[in-house]
Amino acid sequence: MMKKKSWEGSSAMEATLAEVRQSFKSGRTRSVEWRKKQLRALIELIQDNEEKLFKALLEDLGKHPAEAYRDEIGVVLKSADYILSNVQKWTAPKKCSIPLVFFPAKGELQPEPLGVILIFSCWNFPISLALDPLIGAISAGNGVILKPSDQAPACSSVLASLIPLYMDSKAIKVIEGGPEICEKILLHKWDKIFFTGSAQIGRIVMSAAAKHLTPVTLELGGKCPTILDSLSNTSDLKVAVKRIAGAKWGPCSGQACIAVDYLLVEENLAPTLIEMFKKTLKRFYGENPIESKSIARIVNRRHFERLTSYLKDPLVAASIVHGGSLDEDNLIIEPTILLDPPLDAAIMTEEIFGPFLPIITLNKIEESIEFINSRPKPLTIYAFTKDEKFKRRILSETSSGTVTFNDVLIQFLCDTLPFGGVDQSGFGRYHGKYSFDTFSHEKAIMHGSFFPEIEPRYPPWTEFKMKFIRLAYRLNYFGVILLLLGLKR
């Protein structure tokens, strides 16, 4: 396996890309058996090296093995198993309905791989966000170059060392490195780029791709709001609070694009909620969350300083109603709740990507729709309500990548639903069949016939031919047959 420094020379990168492209051109990646073999190999890789992956995730992000399995290992195994069970069916041509005016022609759709795919993964879920798109690209029959995030170096290293041992090392490669390597990679032409990360870097990727007219899928982020209606049933409210807490602080200490970013509630409900959140956090993380083994740490010092800078605003600091403790040495921030911080403060205008939960109070919960619409379109909207009319209003009056009612995060785990953003939260979608589609081109095929031969379709043009053409487009099947049999000349 090549070391990271081997990618510093452009000739080595060109040779690597050429080898993957040649592997694709040879046709072997198109074979359904090749695709299945790679998917089985990936499953075997995960199962054989679970402890190595746990260790890398602990080293990079402080993730407990249970959290690591829930959000990373289990996600990949589930996705690979689901696609492995369906890829044979997905690769088969599909019959396509053809209007009778084209009789006796037949149509079909044939999925084909795009070519050589470049995948940029993100550091917050460095295993699942690398391997889940890889599964989709392989299932579609592509060659792949995977670039893991350098901000999760242990996970990047373990992927770079293991993937060549289990998978086709000529058609699937891993490139390690930092921003300078990414810049060099983007100079090359790709058949598709799949990027997961920030909108800022997404713009750079899209700009580079535009030079080669390369299609791009961008999985970005945004501020995911959660609407909490005044649930009349106390047990329902307790479940909602527990789920919101789990979705705010559970996935990588809030460092997740689909984590709850802020909570919208009616003002009279806020005091009760805060007390319920305090009790829930104590149950999750104990009396001193800083010392808990169940909370992930902030990925690095730069992000730690970014998060703590939010609290340097006196008005933001004054809005803290719970938490706020910091462990600078271990890069851990206590789960923190803020009540009505200034709406123009950075914590309310930038994606938090950390363990701060602002609670924004409203006079009426219906005002949440206007509040959400006043800001960029989110990746996900969560809403806890039993009011069916309010649900319909949320669906019809807001725009987001996904909407989940009365639960959190589960939309990401569902293989039969697409996952993706809209507007500034990204574009393109994946998971399950949608991953296969993202990395495929659905080729339209028309099977024509030598009979009948209709002369009015050809010059020289006459008034009769003009009438024939007009009628052919407008008449039903029987009218066309009559034209074919009785008016052909």
42-69 pLDDT tens trace = 999 999 999 999 999 999 999 999 999 9
Q: Strand pairing partners for 430?
A: 419
Collect all residues with Cβ–Cβ distance below 8 Å to 166 and sequence separation of at least 6.
41, 42, 44, 45
Least confident of 173-182, 330-339, 412-421, 452-461: 452-461
Instruction: Report the mean per-residue pLDDT for the chain.
Output: 93
Domain segments of the chain: what residues? 4-220+431-442, 225-420, 460-486
* Whether pTM exceeds 0.85: yes
* pLDDT at res. 483: 55
Which homologous superfamily is 225-420 in?
Aldehyde Dehydrogenase; Chain A, domain 2 (3.40.309.10)
Neighbours of 389 (CB within 10 A): 9
Q: What is the mean pLDDT of residues 324-328?
A: 94
**pLDDT one-digit tens code per residue, 361-413:** 999 999 999 999 999 999 999 999 999 999 999 999 999 999 999 999 999 99
CA dihedral defined by 23, 27, 32, 33, rounded to 10 degrees? -60
- 182 catalytic? Reply is no
Alpha carbon distance 134, 171 (integer Å): 12
Question: What's the pLDDT at 359?
Answer: 98
Q: Which of 224, 257, 266, 334 is catalytic?
A: 257
Using pLDDT thresholds of 50, 70 and 90, give the confidence band for residue 3: very low
Cα distances from 307 to residues 251, 310, 350, in angstroms, run 16, 6, 11
pLDDT (mean) for 312-335: 96
pLDDT band at 485 (very low <50, low <70, confident <90, very high): low
- Residue with tokens 């090749």, as numbered in its chain: 34
Catalytic residue among 67, 219, 266, 351: 219
Q: What is the DSSP letter of 268?
A: G
**pLDDT tens digits, one per residue of 230-258:** 887 889 999 999 999 999 999 999 999 99
Say yes or no to pLDDT of 189 above 70.
yes
The mean pLDDT value for 97-119 works out to 90
Decide if 219 is catalytic. Answer: yes
**CATH superfamily to which 4-220+431-442 belongs:** Aldehyde Dehydrogenase; Chain A, domain 1 (3.40.605.10)
pLDDT in tens, 344-355: 999 999 999 999
